[in-house]
Structure 1
Amino acid sequence: MAVKACNNLHKKNVPYYDRPRERLLRLGAVQLADAELLSIMLRTGTEQETSYELAQRLLAAFGDLRGLAQASHAELTKLKGIGQVKAIELHAAFELGRRVVSSTHEQRTVVRLPRDVAELMIPEMSHLTQEHFVCLFLNTKNHVIGKQTVFVGSLDASIVHPREVYKEAIKRSSASLICLHNHPSGDPTPSREDIAITRTLREAGELVGISLLDHIIIGDGKYVSLKEQGYM
């Protein structure tokens, strides 16, 4: 009871107008610090700390919001004050944020340069902890008409098969396509395997009449275009 009483006293010592929810109502969400916004999501703290203090501890544990967004369910629930429900709610909130960013970028559906593709896909792919091989399908005007994750896991030429890639392209009546995959290490430098896969896919595209325009590797906020590097 003494701990609870102390915690309640601590909360009472925070002026009503300085609490995160009230500050958001008065000032707008954009004016709040990361820990304040996070405390609103958490809703409650522990017997020893407020939701704001728990939010501060979470950010300290994972370095920043990006680190927190990448944390696994197991990593989150190891921390005192984060149970199954809070961990699930955090995952859901960060995924919604990623989808908002992704949908905003996808409104620019015309891609003409590797930079256009990178700006479209970096928000979605740079945080992934496993390799994802993704295809963007384009029409004759370079509008993105579809997107498909073909494979998740360590890339291998025998796994990322041209049959799967071009089956999707044909199904969507694509004029061309762009392939992407991420390097979880953050370094987008292409490997020999990446180069081999690119050449295999390009040759297959020539046979079926659907051009492979580029293969782009996404790193931590960076990218490499294999076309720009002269591998295509």
Structure 2
Amino acid sequence: MEYSKKTLSIKSWAEDDRPREKLLLKGKASLSDAELIAILIGSGSRNETAVDLAKKILNSIENNLNRLGKLSVSELQKFKGIGEAKAISIITALELGRRRRLEEALEVPKIKSSKTVFNLMQPIIGELQHEEFWIVFLNNSNKVLLKYQMSKGGLTGTLVDVRLVFKKAIELYATAIILCHNHPSGKLQPSNADKMITNKLKQAGETLDVKVLDHIIITENAYFSFADESLI
């Protein structure tokens, strides 16, 4: 008499089909969501493997791991073969995954180029209808210590207090700064006022040993870098 995998325990499967062994042999990326959940579950029921049970759970929430992470202990226990301990294991694993994603999102970025600055600041000021002037404060590894709005102006411009810029730099022990502001008009060319404030901040930074690395003008879809254009 032949038996399907569904009526056999995972231990009786071919080695490549066992989730734990598969992870050891081929790495974690080789496992499906169902196989990963099966490892958490450990065992299924008398007539169902842990993998089949995991597939059933995933099918119920349209294979959406975000929805799985929102299920309660009691909702998971509605599946035959899932007791309180197994439900808690699933919820715990998904919560750890959620916290890991959060930490990755908050990870301190490292500035490697003007494009990095644009990607960092465009979501903040790129689509505004008024002008804002921001400073990105960096440590000696060019990692961002703080993104700070120095001033907010109207359609025609904004003012920057040099003393406040370097007061903040000293408080943060920053070794470098990058100047950023947006042009609501969409024009990328720096104005005379842009060039003047850049030189003023650069000179002040030299006195305090805080380097002004760049000044980035940002619009909705593009940017202008003083450093790239050898203007700083």
RMSD over aligned Cα atoms: 2.2
- Match in the other structure for 1:155: 157
- Match in the other structure for 1:174: 174
Displacement of 1:27 in angstroms is 11
Show structure 1 runs of 4+ deviating over 4 A.
25-28, 103-106
Aligned residue identity for 1:155: G
- Match in the other structure for 1:191: 191
Aligned residue identity for 1:223: Y
Structure 1: runs of 5+ lacking an equivalent:
1-24, 29-102
Aligned residue identity for 2:169: A
SS in 1 for 2:118: helix
Structure 2: runs of 5+ lacking an equivalent:
1-60, 65-102
SS in 2 for 1:112: coil
Displacement of 1:165 in angstroms is 0.9
Identity, % of aligned pairs?
Answer: 33
CA deviation vs aligned residue, 1:68-106 (integer Å, no higher than 9, x gap): xxxxxxxxxxxxxxxxxxxxxxxxxxxxxxxxxxx9876
SS in 1 for 2:173: coil
> 2:184 and 2:105 mapped to 1: Cα distance?
22
Aligned residue identity for 2:134: V
> 1:110 and 1:164 mapped to 2: Cα distance?
24
- Match in the other structure for 2:222: 222
SS in 1 for 2:189: coil
> 1:229 and 1:105 mapped to 2: Cα distance?
31
Question: Is contact 1:105–1:119 with CA below 8 Å preserved after alignment?
Answer: no
SS in 2 for 1:118: helix
SS in 2 for 1:214: strand
- Match in the other structure for 1:78: none
Answering whether residue 134 of structure 2 is matched by residue 114 of structure 1, we say no
Question: Is contact 1:114–1:216 with CA below 8 Å preserved after alignment?
Answer: yes
> 2:170 and 2:126 mapped to 1: Cα distance?
28
**Structure with the greater alpha carbon radius of gyration:** 2
Against the structure 1 CA distance between its residues 105 and 201, is the aligned structure 2 distance closer, same or farther, given a 3 Å change threshold? farther
SS in 1 for 2:179: strand
> 1:106 and 1:222 mapped to 2: Cα distance?
25
Against the structure 1 CA distance between its residues 128 and 104, is the aligned structure 2 distance closer, same or farther, given a 3 Å change threshold? farther
**TM-score, normalising length: structure 2:** 0.52
Question: Is contact 1:136–1:177 with CA below 8 Å preserved after alignment?
Answer: yes
Aligned residue identity for 1:151: S
CA deviation vs aligned residue, 1:95-119 (integer Å, no higher than 9, x gap): xxxxxxxx98764610021011111
Question: Is contact 1:205–1:211 with CA below 8 Å preserved after alignment?
Answer: yes
Answering whether residue 122 of structure 2 is matched by residue 138 of structure 1, we say no
Q: What is the aligned length? A: 132
- Match in the other structure for 1:123: 123
Against the structure 1 CA distance between its residues 128 and 222, is the aligned structure 2 distance closer, same or farther, given a 3 Å change threshold? same
